A and B are shown apart, each in its own frame.
Chain A
Amino acid sequence: MNMQSHGVTPERLSNLKRLEAESIHIIREVAAEFSNPVMLYSIGKDSGVMLHLAMKAFYPSKPPFPLLHVDTTWKFREMIRFRDDTAKRLGLDLIVHTNPEGLEKNISPFDHGSSVHTRIMKTEALKQALDKYGFDAAFGGARRDEEKSRAKERVFSFRNANHGWDPKNQRPELWNLYNARVAKGESIRAFPLSNWTELDIWQYILTEDIPMVPLYFAAPRPVVERDGMLIMVDDERMKLQAGETIEEKMVRFRTLGCYPLTGAIESDADTLPAIVREMLIARTSERQGRLIDKDESASMEKKKREGYF
């Protein structure tokens, strides 16, 4: 292939190599500066890439921090299987936390709505887990291209003792010199994938052949159309409403979360190249598949102020 025609001199790092190096640098910096870091592992493609980068960052050692999954009990079953297999395959410690009060009250996205469910089973649960283990830094797989308020978030994002984010009072972040200083109780959320786009993620998965939850690939799945979204019937807790029928459709997911809140898209992309191909001609951004962002365009910023990742 003629490299020149694609704008890269053989000397300069390619886009993916530059992103990879930057992420590894960030991951190592967190491990070196904090006494008790943890990596939030949400099982999705971004988490998968972040974990893959962490394995590279410390090779031949293992990453010097555990993985944490906040389990709402409403994740797709395939996700949970994949999570446990991944931790085992890589030989990493996995902490799973579920909000015990939420469990007791049987919080469900069907009965309590997406915002109550998200607050109690995700935001509150995450805070509980971070406090319980005294983590002073937590890696998240968020990207700046996902959403407007993320576009301004720092790579090292400071959280006060209540896990709150103050968008008006962020630390300036220059060069690759990250300020890791926190007082007791305060913490940093670190985002090694800040500068990746969704397309970068898929291209990297393709190049590196990173294992992914099968839900990302198109397959015939039982779905119900509800509020303009295709919801997969993953277990018996999903009750059909009047007029709804379960149909088998060729679908896949662009993002993964709690199954009642995650819309599928109709697609026949069942291989990585097919997914990237679909991405290249995508006309709809990925968060559209998430019910929780729908309310209003500034809703993510509100959630983040309260401690959401």
Chain B
Amino acid sequence: MTIADIQETAEAAVNEYILAQETKDQLRFLTCGSVDDGKSTLIGRLLYDTKLIFEDQLAALERDSRKHGTVGEDIDLALLVDGLEAEREQGITIDVAYRFFATDKRKFIVADTPGHEQYTRNMATGASTADLAVLLVDARNGLMVQTRRHAFIASLLGIRHVVLAINKIDLVGFSQERFEEIRKDFESFASGFDFETLEAIPMSARYGDNVTAKSDKMSWYSGPTLLEHLETVEFGEHALEAPFRFPVQWVNRPNLDFRGYSGTIASGRVTVGEELVVAGPAKSSRVKSIIGPDGEVPEARAGEAITLTLEDEIDISRGDLLSSAAHRPEVADQFAAHLIWMSDEPLLPGRPYMLKIGARTVTATVSEIKHKINVNTFEHMAGKTLELNEIAFCNFSLSSAVPFDPYEANRTTGAFILIDRISNATVGAGMVWFALRRASNIHWQALEIDKTARSQKLGQKPAVLWFTGLSGSGKSTIASMVEKKLHVDGRQTYTLDGDNVRHGLNKDLGFTDADRVENIRRVGEVAKLFTDAGLITLVSFISPFRSERRMARDLMGEGEFIEVFVDTPIEECRRRDPKGLYAKADRGEIKNFTGIDSPYEAPENPEIHIRNVGRDPEEVAEEIITYLREKGFLAGFAEDGEGI
């Protein structure tokens, strides 16, 4: 062979190798365990041994090791993976970080998540997209509370493949007995979870035993190394075998002749000619064509991002779910679900949040917390609110019916997130368990005499004047004055006063945040009924939280809700203290008093803003009447005799 021949052969071999790379698949896995268990060291070891640690990263690593390292002169593999500056200085991992490495067989994406209980949400985040979980255990300590917690969260998030990495086996003298003991403990404990594969592997991440290379110190162990297992474990069949689900993300209309529905196939497969239904309205049609990333294809399967066209023109938009006609999803506006709470602000039942499921976003409330789950003991506990990192089983009530599957059956169509309506933060992650049937059995009674008919008869335009402000700010005084003026003007009115309502309708409620939310919800609903009846309703409630005032606003028709912020500084309210409440609160006799040990969230854009220091209530009331007149609420018979 000539040199040119040799080069050519070498080139051909490399080209073949490159082609083979294209058929590699991808495994996403989660590592959990605490820093002390050697989690970061294990990932560092995998990256190091698979040669994806480049020279310059190594040089930076050596420098950093001298600065922050905890293992003396050796390179600290953990520093490869502990990301942000502050975390490195604290020596802990506090977020989810994603790492990448590859072998000839697979590419791996590692979600590296912290182990402590206060980071349950981070672990859930990493677990949500993982195909497999590696749970680390320190061989000296055996199963810990956190091991159980991690197994539980992995199972809750639908991970079906688990590796129990029994690490630091060198520190127990590579003992088979110890390994077997931990393995059996875990197997008996995890038998209640729905894991399909469970592989226990004895290893030392620090020295590399059984991570990527077989250890020569554990001849008793005949199983795979961690890497061998990760390279060969089968996964992902469930999404392929489940019925066809396709959340429509985008309607593709380049011209009048083409109408396509774009999205990612959540589960199952689809072929040209197959009958599909739109869940909910239950319209059906047949698949005319499937456009994959590389053009038209006769069929497509779970995970692929495609565009479908249908034989018939039916009305489908973003948020709809196309499904197999033979196996349809559930459709309901109430369901029970597991919820992981991810916000510092507690979850309050009754408070509206945005719920995103598939490509659809609706308003939702938790109607009831059935029970909280202790993540360490799995005990069920009662609870009225949910704090950061807590998990509960809850009933949800949605503003409209949505299609879904139980999470157990489908990790895509059964998953949702909750978004706070004020801060826009992602505050919760949910997994649907089952639909609640009562929703479909209570139908709206259509009434022939409606709001317009009633308000015409009264000759007025209904409205809700919502007075909010601290206790003692002057809400009730002003509201009462406004009502008198309206009454004299011949208007039909009603006042809902905070204190009065608490004597009747809301006498079962206290002053916790959860009860305050419910208090406002009920008053909002009553105000809505009065508005329907055509009345001008005055609501005088402290109503300290923005989201509940927003909820009340959303209950009313466009323009019917008038927020009146009675803005009196707390010093002034305290000075006035008409009911002696501030004095009591200061003495600690009243708990959860707004402005003292419970927050007041001032309105940002009230329709009417009353700075109520040194002002005559009469004058303030007149200002409000003027507002109503200018906005057309008091038009009606007085001027042109035609009503509204």
Q: Is A161 an interface residue (CB 8 A)?
A: no
Q: Is A242 an interface residue (CB 8 A)?
A: no
- Give Cα A37 to B64, complex, Å: 39
- Cross-chain contact B21 with A203 (CB below 8 angstroms): yes
CB nearest to A145 among chain B residues: B100
- Cross-chain contact A11 with B254 (CB below 8 angstroms): no
Q: A273: which of B18, B129, B307, B426 is its contact (CB, 8 Å)?
A: B18
List of A residues within 8 angstroms of B26 by Cβ: 13-15, 18-19
- Cross-chain contact A11 with B301 (CB below 8 angstroms): yes
Q: A172: which of B11, B359, B429 is its contact (CB, 8 Å)?
A: B429
Q: Is B572 an interface residue (CB 8 A)?
A: no
Known: A148-B83, A181-B419. A59 touches B125 (CB 8 A): no
Q: Is the interface of B mostly helix, strand, loop or mixed?
A: mixed
CB nearest to A61 among chain B residues: B254
- Cross-chain contact B264 with A25 (CB below 8 angstroms): yes
Q: Is A73 an interface residue (CB 8 A)?
A: no
- Cross-chain contact A15 with B25 (CB below 8 angstroms): yes
Q: Is B293 an interface residue (CB 8 A)?
A: yes
A/B pair count, beta carbons within 8 Å: 202
Q: Is A297 an interface residue (CB 8 A)?
A: yes
CB nearest to A148 among chain B residues: B83
- Range of interface residues on chain B? 35 or more
Instruction: Write the B94-114 contact mask toward A (1 if CB under 8 angstroms, else 0).
Output: 011111101011110100000
- Give Cα A66 to B208, complex, Å: 50
- Cross-chain contact B417 with A174 (CB below 8 angstroms): yes
Q: A1: which of B19, B122, B124 is its contact (CB, 8 Å)?
A: B19
Q: Looking at the assembled complex, report how far the CB atom of B394 sits from the nearest CB atom of chain A, in whole angstroms.
A: 17
List of B residues within 8 angstroms of A6 by Cβ: 20, 23-24, 104-105
Instruction: Write the A145-179 contact mask toward B (1 if CB under 8 angstroms, else 0).
Output: 10011011000000000000001101111111101
- Cross-chain contact A15 with B303 (CB below 8 angstroms): no
- Cross-chain contact A14 with B25 (CB below 8 angstroms): yes
Q: Is B85 an interface residue (CB 8 A)?
A: yes
- Give Cα A209 to B588, complex, Å: 73
List of A residues within 8 angstroms of B128 by Cβ: 174-175
Q: Is A92 an interface residue (CB 8 A)?
A: no
Q: Is A182 an interface residue (CB 8 A)?
A: yes
Interface residues of B in 99-142 (CB under 8 A from A): 99-100, 102, 104-107, 109, 121-122, 124-125, 128-129
Q: A285: which of B56, B97, B122 is its contact (CB, 8 Å)?
A: B56
- Cross-chain contact B293 with A171 (CB below 8 angstroms): no
List of B residues within 8 angstroms of A195 by Cβ: 98, 100, 109
- Give Cα A151 to B83, complex, Å: 7
- Give Cα A148 to B357, complex, Å: 31
Q: A179: which of B15, B18, B54, B356 is its contact (CB, 8 Å)?
A: B356
Stretch of A26-34, A96-104, A108-116, A211-219 with 4 or more beta carbons under 8 angstroms from chain B: A26-34
A-B CB contact pairs (8 Å), 27 listed: A1-B23, A6-B24, A6-B104, A7-B231, A8-B23, A21-B293, A21-B305, A28-B263, A32-B249, A32-B318, A59-B291, A148-B83, A167-B95, A172-B124, A174-B125, A174-B415, A176-B129, A176-B264, A179-B426, A181-B354, A181-B424, A194-B98, A200-B107, A206-B18, A273-B15, A285-B57, A288-B56
Q: A residues touching B (Cβ–Cβ < 8 Å)?
A: 1, 3, 6-9, 11-22, 24-25, 28-29, 31-32, 56-62, 144-145, 148-149, 151-152, 167-168, 170-177, 179, 181-183, 186, 194-195, 197, 199-200, 203, 206-207, 273, 276-277, 280, 282-285, 288, 297-298, 301
Give the 8 A-B CB pairs with smallest separation, nearest first. Answer: A181-B424, A24-B305, A7-B105, A285-B54, A174-B128, A61-B254, A15-B26, A21-B305
Known: A151-B97, A171-B425. 12 other contacts (CB 8 A): A1-B20, A13-B303, A14-B25, A17-B304, A18-B303, A21-B293, A24-B293, A25-B264, A28-B262, A58-B250, A60-B291, A175-B411
